[in-house]
Amino acid sequence: MPRDRETLRRVFLEELPACSLVRAAWFGGSDATDRTDRWSDVDLYVLVQPGRTEDYCERQECWLERVAPVLRRYRLPEPTAHGARQEFIQFEGLPEEHMLDVCVLESFDPGAWIGVARHGTPQVIHDPESLLLEPVVDRDALTERLQARRATLGSTFPLFLHLAPKAARRGLPIEAQACYHSFVLRPLVELLRLRYCPQRHDYGLRYLEQDLPAEAYAELLALAWPTGIEALPRDCELASELFWRTMAQLERDGIRFPAPLA
């Protein structure tokens, strides 16, 4: 029988509800945002009983043996920034894209892990305690934090904008490209996110085709791939124009969130 991401998902759909160590479990990523295609990996989140992470992971290893032998894996050094044990696993005989990205948690802050506006609708596998409820977000506190970030971008963007064209004029294409990405493109994207999708203000360059209006995305796309070192200074000028136009819109309209916000 062909093995693919559905083979991997099926194992957890069968085993997790019957595991006494598990308080809640869900699929996130493309399964939660309705973006699944033939290249999608499997994003799994498992909330276990306190102190039982190692016990759960031992059982998980037994379940994975039913899928295929492990080809390669990497576990994030702990403690992780998000507090969960996270591991990436690829399997022999499965397309490399069908990697398992699994987070095992012992404590659960809904605002950090679920919420339709940020993460999509979790595909619930097991939740007998009704833990996976839409979190309540303090809009006022978040707005204040994002307004402060907008002000910071307004100070730092013009300060470092010159670095990319300077490197280009010196004939340093690799350095120029690195500076363009770090000091022009990324802050521009962050500001566009504050304008159009503040709930995902920290998502960087991912999902922009979904998060930005078509016109804004097209304008950004034209700036994302400088055609050469000679064109880079002009691209910086165009990026600066878009940045300050977006800044003016934010100053006029403020931070606007979708509903529900999470």
Q: What was the pLDDT predicted at 237? A: 97
pLDDT band for 31, please (50, 70, 90 cuts): very high
User: Are 105 and 154 part of one and the same domain?
Assistant: no
The string of pLDDT tens digits covering residues 85-96 is 999 999 999 999
Q: What is the mean pLDDT of residues 74-90?
A: 97
User: Are 115 and 84 part of one and the same domain?
Assistant: yes
User: Are 153 and 241 part of one and the same domain?
Assistant: yes
Q: What is the mean pLDDT of residues 212-232?
A: 94
The string of pLDDT tens digits covering residues 97-128 is 999 999 999 999 888 899 888 999 999 999 99
| End residue of a domain, out of 104, 126, 148 | 126
User: Which amino acid, 92?
Assistant: E
Q: What was the pLDDT predicted at 262? A: 52
Burial 72-106 (b: 16+ CB within 10 A, else e): eeeeeeeeeeeebbbbebbbeebeeebbbebbbbb
The string of pLDDT tens digits covering residues 140-162 is 999 999 999 999 999 999 999 99
User: Which amino acid, 195?
Assistant: R
Percent of the chain with pLDDT over 90: 89
Pairing, β 85-91 against β 70-75 = antiparallel
CA distance 190 to 210: 15
User: Are 41 and 114 part of one and the same domain?
Assistant: yes
User: Are 150 and 222 part of one and the same domain?
Assistant: yes
The residue that leads in pLDDT, 9 or 226, is: 9
Whether 136 shows a pLDDT value over 90: the answer reads no
| End residue of a domain, out of 92, 126, 160 | 126
Whether 2 shows a pLDDT value over 60: the answer reads no
| End residue of a domain, out of 126, 158, 189 | 126
Contact at 8 Å (CB) between 146 and 201? yes
Backbone angles phi, psi at 101, to 5 degrees: -115, 105
Q: What was the pLDDT predicted at 261? A: 58
**CATH code of the domain covering residue 224:** 1.20.120
pLDDT band for 3, please (50, 70, 90 cuts): confident
Q: What was the pLDDT predicted at 77? A: 98
In a domain, 210, yes or no: yes
Predicted TM-score (pTM) of the model is: 0.89
In a domain, 259, yes or no: no
User: Are 144 and 221 part of one and the same domain?
Assistant: yes
In a domain, 131, yes or no: no
pLDDT band for 259, please (50, 70, 90 cuts): low
In a domain, 194, yes or no: yes
Alpha-carbon distances, residue 245 vs 87, 151, 216, 239, 252 (angstroms): 41, 14, 11, 10, 11
In a domain, 154, yes or no: yes
User: Are 146 and 82 part of one and the same domain?
Assistant: no
Whether 1 shows a pLDDT value over 80: the answer reads no
Give me the domain span that covers residue 154: 139-253
User: Are 85 and 106 part of one and the same domain?
Assistant: yes
In a domain, 90, yes or no: yes
Cα–Cα nearest to 220, from 248, 204, 247, 242: 242
User: Are 22 and 117 part of one and the same domain?
Assistant: yes
In a domain, 33, yes or no: yes
DSSP string spanning 4-21? -HHHHHHHHHHHGGG-TT
The residue that leads in pLDDT, 239 or 117, is: 239
User: Are 192 and 98 part of one and the same domain?
Assistant: no
